[in-house]
C-alpha cells in the first residue's frame, strides 16, 4: 500500500482526465491515483481506468463535496497517510504536488492549500497570472479576507481545491461535519477552529479549457448565501 493517494473528483471529464492522471503519474509516481466519477454521462470512468487510476463511480451526480468525501472515506479505510486532492479538468498542474507536500512532510502543517494568487516564480511572462472574471474575483477576495481575519493568518485563495492533508485531517473531513456542496472557506475556518495547522503555498493553475464552472447561472447567489451561513454556523460551534 502506497503512503500517498491523489484524489481526483470528476464529472464528464473524458477529454482531460487521462492527461491529468498521466501528469500525476509522471510527476509523483509513488502515489496511487483515485478518480471519483460523480455520475458522469460520458466516458470519464473508462478513460480513467485506461490511464491506470482506481475508480469509484457514483450512480448519478451527487455534487463536488460528496465526491470528495467518497475519496476521503476510501483513503481512510485503505490506510493512506497523506492525501492530495486536485480537479479533473486540467486546471491544477501536477508538478506542484511536491510544493503541496513540503509542509506535510516537514510536519509544519496538517493541511496545505495551493494558492494561484501568491506572487512567486509561477507569475512569469511565460505563465502570467490566473485570469478571473471581476465578479468572481471580488467574491474570492471577500471570502479570503474573512478567512484570514478569523484564522489570523494570511489566506489568499480560500476557494482552492488543490490541497494536501495528513491522516488527522483526513479523519476530520470524513466525518459528518464536512459540507456536501461547496467546501471552501468554511472548511478552512472549521479546520482552524478544530486546532489543525494550515499552510498556504504557491502552485500553478491554468483556467479550464471548457470555461465551465460550479458557480455559473444562479449558483453564485446561492454560493454566497450558503458560504456566509456555513461560516456563521462554524463560528457558533464549540
CATH of region 4-236, choose from 3.90.550.10, 3.20.20.60, 2.20.25.90, 3.40.190.120: 3.90.550.10
Locate 44 and state its grid cell. 470519464
Report d(CA 120, CA 118) in Å as an integer: 6
pLDDT at 112 over 70: yes
* Residue in 114, 46, 57, 61 with CA at minimum distance from that of residue 86: 114
Q: What is the pTM of this model?
A: 0.87
Cβ-defined contacts of 34-37 (< 8 Å, 24+) = 34/5, 34/6, 34/7, 34/8, 34/71, 34/74, 34/75, 35/8, 35/9, 35/10, 35/88, 36/7, 36/8, 36/9, 36/10, 36/67, 36/68, 36/70, 36/71, 37/10, 37/11
pLDDT 10s digits, 13-66: 999 999 999 999 999 999 999 999 999 999 999 999 999 999 999 999 999 999
Question: Which residues face 57 on adjacent strands?
Answer: 37
Q: How confident is the model at residue 70 (pLDDT cuts 50, 70, 90)?
A: very high
Q: How confident is the model at residue 132 (pLDDT cuts 50, 70, 90)?
A: low
pLDDT 10s digits, 134-161: 566 677 788 899 999 999 999 999 989 9
In the chain, where the domains are located: 4-236
pLDDT for 236: 77
Amino acid at each position: 500500500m502506497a503512503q500517498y493517494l491523489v484524489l481526483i473528483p470528476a464529472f464528464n471529464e473524458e477529454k482531460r482526465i487521462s492527461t491529468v492522471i498521466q501528469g500525476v503519474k509522471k510527476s509523483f509516481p509513488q502515489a496511487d491515483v483515485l478518480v471519483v466519477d460523480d455520475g458522469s454521462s460520458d466516458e470519464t470512468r473508462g478513460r480513467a481506468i485506461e490511464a491506470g487510476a482506481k475508480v469509484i463511480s457514483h450512480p448519478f451526480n451527487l455534487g463536488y463535496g460528496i465526491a470528495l468525501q467518497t475519496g476521503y472515506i476510501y483513503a481512510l479505510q485503505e490506510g493512506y497517510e497523506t492525501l492530495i486532492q486536485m480537479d479533473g479538468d486540467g486546471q491544477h498542474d501536477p508538478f506542484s504536488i511536491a510544493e503541496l507536500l513540503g509542509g506535510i512532510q516537514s510536519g509544519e502543517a496538517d493541511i496545505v492549500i495551493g494558492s494561484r494568487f501568491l506572487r512567486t516564480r509561477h507569475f512569469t511572462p511565460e505563465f502570467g497570472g490566473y485570469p478571473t472574471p471581476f465578479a468572481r474575483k471580488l467574491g474570492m477576495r471577500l471570502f479570503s479576507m474573512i478567512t484570514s481575519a478569523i484564522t489570523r493568518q494570511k489566506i489568499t485563495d480560500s476557494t482552492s481545491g488543490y490541497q494536501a492533508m495528513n491522516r488527522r485531517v483526513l479523519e476530520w473531513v470524513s466525518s459528518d461535519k464536512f459540507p456536501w456542496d461547496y467546501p471552501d472557506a468554511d472548511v478552512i475556518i472549521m479546520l482552524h477552529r478544530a486546532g489543525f495547522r494550515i499552510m498556504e503555498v504557491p502552485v500553478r493553475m491554468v483556467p479550464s479549457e471548457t470555461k465551465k464552472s460550479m458557480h455559473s447561472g444562479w449558483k453564485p447567489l446561492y454560493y454566497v448565501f450558503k458560504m456566509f451561513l456555513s461560516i456563521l454556523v462554524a463560528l457558533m460551534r464549540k
